[in-house]
Amino acid sequence: MKLLDSAAARETFERELERVRRWYGCYVSGYVVMPEHVHLLISEPERGELSVVIHMLKQITSRKLKTAGARRFWQVRYYDFPVWSEAKSMEKLRYIHRNPVKRGLVDRPEDWEWSSFRAWASGQEGQVEIECPSTARKRERMGMALTVAMPSRPSPKAGERVGKPHEFWPESMGQPPRSLSISEARPESVNEA
């Protein structure tokens, strides 16, 4: 059973993602809500740790979407990947946005409503604020400067990052976040053993 298969469930996830993004001060660069999993390209939070952000997002959505008799909604683990270069960030965004097409759910990325593709392609705002050029331009028009907290993190071990943090973020987006992670969480099926 695909627990995010309904439009209502995917919209609930988007609403809660935006709420958690605001609460913890994260920057969401990209996302897609698929029928049985989610991909996020998200910054480290200004308040708290990324693991706490993901835990809260999973906890809130689970309470709202879990069906009676289900042991749990989400798998316990999520998978993350530090993104340190603009090239890797764009690669991850392309993967995220093409996921519904690759799965045969739609013919074009813009046809899948539950993703950040439209924000990147045309500046169309959705339920989740997306860190993309149109958002940066909107902030400039409003007279807001983009400020991103740079949480101190220990240096990654050898082989854990690609590029330098300063090469990671387009200049038009302001100062780069320290890191972005791609997280995948798959809801468990009610019928799974």
CA pair distance 182, 96, nearest whole angstrom: 9
Tokens of residue 47, six digits: 């308040």
3-state secondary structure of 185: strand
Q: Which tens digit of pLDDT belongs to each residue from 37-76?
A: 899 998 888 888 888 998 899 889 888 887 777 777 888 7
Tens of each residue's pLDDT in the chain, 193 residues: 577 888 999 999 999 999 999 999 999 999 999 988 899 998 888 888 888 998 899 889 888 887 777 777 888 777 777 887 888 888 889 999 999 999 999 999 999 999 999 999 888 899 999 988 777 777 777 776 554 444 444 444 544 443 444 444 455 544 344 333 334 455 554 433 3
Whole-model pTM: value is 0.74
Rg over CA atoms, the chain: 17
Count of CB atoms situated within 10 Å of the CB of 151:
16
Q: Are 110 and 117 in contact (CB under 8 A)?
A: yes
* pLDDT reported for residue 112: 95
* pLDDT reported for residue 86: 83
Superfamily of domain 7-150+159-185: Transposase IS200-like (3.30.70.1290)
CA pair distance 83, 167, nearest whole angstrom: 11
Q: Are 55 and 76 in contact (CB under 8 A)?
A: no
- Please tell me the total number of residues recorded for the chain in this structure: 193
Q: Are 181 and 42 in contact (CB under 8 A)?
A: yes
